[in-house]
Amino acid sequence: MSPDHMIWISLALPLLAVGLIAFFGKTPDLRDGASGTIAGLLFIVTASLSIGVFSGERPELHLGEMLPGFEIAFRVEPLGMLFALVASGLWILTTAYAVGYMRGHHELHQTRFFACFAIAIFAALAAAFSANLFTLFVAYEVMTISTYPLVTHHGTEEAKRGGRIYLGILLSTSIAFFMLAIVWTWSLAGTLDFKLGGILSDAVAEDRISQTGLGVLIGLFAFGIGKAALMPFHRWLPAAMVAPTPVSALLHAVAVVKVGVFSVMKVCVYIFGLELLRETGVSLYLAYVAGFTLVVASLVAMTKDNLKARLAYSTIGQLAYITLGAMLATPNSVIGGGMHIAMHAVGKITLFFCAGAIYVAAHKKNISDMEGLGRKMPFTFAAFLIASVSIIGLPPGGGAWSKWFLAVGTVETHQYLLTAALMVSSLLNIAYLVPIPIRAFMKPKSGSPDEPVQETGGWFANLQEAPALCVVPLCVTAIGSVALFFAAEWIYQALLPITMMPS
């Protein structure tokens, strides 16, 4: 099987899953089994594809032109490969988790839920493998639309409102800014292909676009890719938290938001070219916007008592790290940003899994109600703690490396204010994440006279964990976030080619 074939197989698998899910809609066991099996197959395919890609292959797939000059085409490069690996790997775990959650919670419309989910994964892979801006844009929009039914899954007034904000911001920014930026790029470069070193250097050399114009263009990209949640276009992310937790977990910690920052990185690396960005410095102001976002988002997160809302703001902050890395445009910062896509994905999905597990087992949404819960749900809260360490950026969490490279990037470009912002934000991360598991373990359960403290029966009998299908995935991802600490070298080597100049 050649790598070129593997591209279309990996794109077809999620679509096949949609078909199977719809077909087996009446028999949940078969349906969920099919979903899980395909998720596994997909991971195997992407993993075997990645071996070639990381050793320098660049398989391509052309699906044909829509209009002269631009086409739906795929070309796998390391950054996209890494993203595809993360998305497909976490899809397996999320499927398992979602089955546990949705059944444990007796949710309705599960078939629609899993079908839309698979479409979103398809969109994530299509974006990851896209060979040009147009394909990326199409995948981006498919993802926006396919996740809308997931966000409004409950169909309540609140869900409707959340969905309106979600779709409103994502669709408007993408139409008003992203598309404008694409058309502008097209008129400057005459192509939309992703190319190492960028495609705009000719236009700059021929003086067809001024420095200011270049700054506006990259601004259009950064804000137009609303999924990167750069302030002030971040409101959709907290709004989308009305969705069931597995959706928040995969889509709003992995697929949707990561498509956003991934697109930003791809634009910086393959449309502008790192060298152009460094020489002109046009992206620096966006680095400051990102710096502002990451501090402010962390501050807002501290004020939130609802666990999912706090995680949502935490996500906004962490996404800004990646954008920051892309905008600094040094090799180290870009690698740090790319690495953080993986590190944050694994960490944040663990946190969301935990939030869902707590909700299923104890029906608690607010942090203030979780005191003392750690004794009943030790696995969940232990996983929460481990993942928090990774998000904060402390060893042995994977996040330590990505934040290290980002900090190096700020120092290399002598933007010490941004270095300070990174440090402040990390402190804030500690302040809003760590107390949650600590208080859950340390504090006794407060004010619950109806539940007498059970002293008898030993430690194990006191457990009131969520269903195993919920707990096992979150333990796996927690372990994963530590394992990534030791895999950093491998990711670094894999991402190194994207920072090089084309030979």
Instruction: Look up residue 343 and give its two tokens.
Output: 């590190």
Please identify which residue in 12, 44, 51, 183 interacts with another protein, judged by CB under 8 A.
183
Pick from 22, 41, 142, 299 the residue near another protein by CB under 8 A.
Answer: 142
Q: Which of 147, 139, 160, 92 is nearest to 117 (CA)?
A: 147
Segment near another protein (CB under 8 A); pick from 157-165, 234-242, 354-362, 435-443: 157-165
176 binds another protein (CB under 8 A): yes
Q: Determine if 438 is a binding residue for another protein (CB under 8 A).
A: no
Is 181 or 440 the residue whose CB approaches another protein more closely? 181
- What does the alpha-carbon distance between residue 440 and residue 38 come to, in Å, rounded to a whole number? 37
**C-beta pairs of 389-394 under 8 Å, 24+ apart in sequence:** 390/343, 390/346, 390/347, 390/481, 390/482, 390/484, 390/485, 391/314, 391/318, 391/344, 391/347, 391/348, 391/351, 391/429, 391/433, 392/426, 392/429, 392/430, 392/433, 392/434, 393/426, 393/429
Could you tell me which residues come within 8 angstroms of residue 145 by beta carbon, excluding any fewer than 6 positions away? none
> Is residue 141 a contact residue for another protein (CB under 8 A)?
yes
**Among 164-172, 195-203, 377-385, 451-459, which window interacts with another protein (CB under 8 A)?**
164-172
When the beta carbons of 176 and 479 are compared against another protein, the nearer one is 176
| Closer by beta carbon to another protein, 33 or else 168 | 168
Which stretch of DSSP H or E encloses residue 354?
helix 331-362
Nearer to another protein, 267 or 383 (CB): 267
Residue 171 interacts with another protein (CB under 8 A): yes or no: yes
By the 8 A CB rule, do 84 and 10 touch?
yes
Closest approach, Cβ 123 to another protein, in A, equals 11
**Interaction of residue 24 with another protein, rule CB under 8 A:** no
Give the nearest distance from C-beta 224 to another protein in angstroms: 10
Q: How far is the CB of 188 from another protein (least distance, A)?
A: 8
Is residue 334 a contact partner of residue 82, using CB atoms and an 8 Å limit? Answer: no
Tokens 């969109």 sit on residue: 123
Q: Which is nearer to another protein, 48 or 172 (CB)?
A: 172
* DSSP code of residue 272: I
- Using the rule CB under 8 A, is 235 a contact of another protein? no
Q: Residues binding another protein: what is the number (CB under 8 A)?
A: 27
Check if the beta carbon of residue 60 is closer than 8 Å to that of residue 73. Answer: yes
Looking at beta carbons only, is 119 or 324 nearer to another protein? 119
Question: CA torsion sign, 298 to 304 to 388 to 478?
Answer: negative
Name the segment binding another protein (CB under 8 A); options: 173-181, 243-251, 402-410, 424-432: 173-181
Distance between CA atoms of 220 and 179, rounded to whole angstroms? 9
- Please report how close the Cβ of residue 23 comes to another protein at its closest, in angstroms: 17
- Considering only 168, 281, 396, 435, the residue that binds another protein (CB under 8 A) is 168
Element spanning 71, H or E: strand 70-75
Interaction between residue 184 and another protein (CB under 8 A): yes
Q: Which of 58, 105, 109, 164 binds another protein (CB under 8 A)?
A: 164
> Which window, 165-173, 459-467, 470-478, 491-499, contacts another protein (CB under 8 A)?
165-173
**In contact, 24 and 31? CB cutoff 8 Å:** yes
Contact with another protein (CB under 8 A) among 30, 36, 186, 281: 186
How many residues are given for the chain?
A: 503
Q: Which of these segments, 40-48, 183-191, 227-235, 413-421, binds another protein (CB under 8 A)?
A: 183-191
Residues 61-80 that bind another protein (CB under 8 A): 66-67, 72
Burial of residue 344 (CB within 10 Å: 0-12, 13-18, 19+) is buried
β-pair partners for 70: 67
Q: Which residues bind another protein (CB under 8 A)?
A: 66-67, 72, 134, 137-138, 141-142, 145, 152, 155, 159-160, 163-164, 167-168, 171-172, 175-176, 179-180, 183-184, 186-187
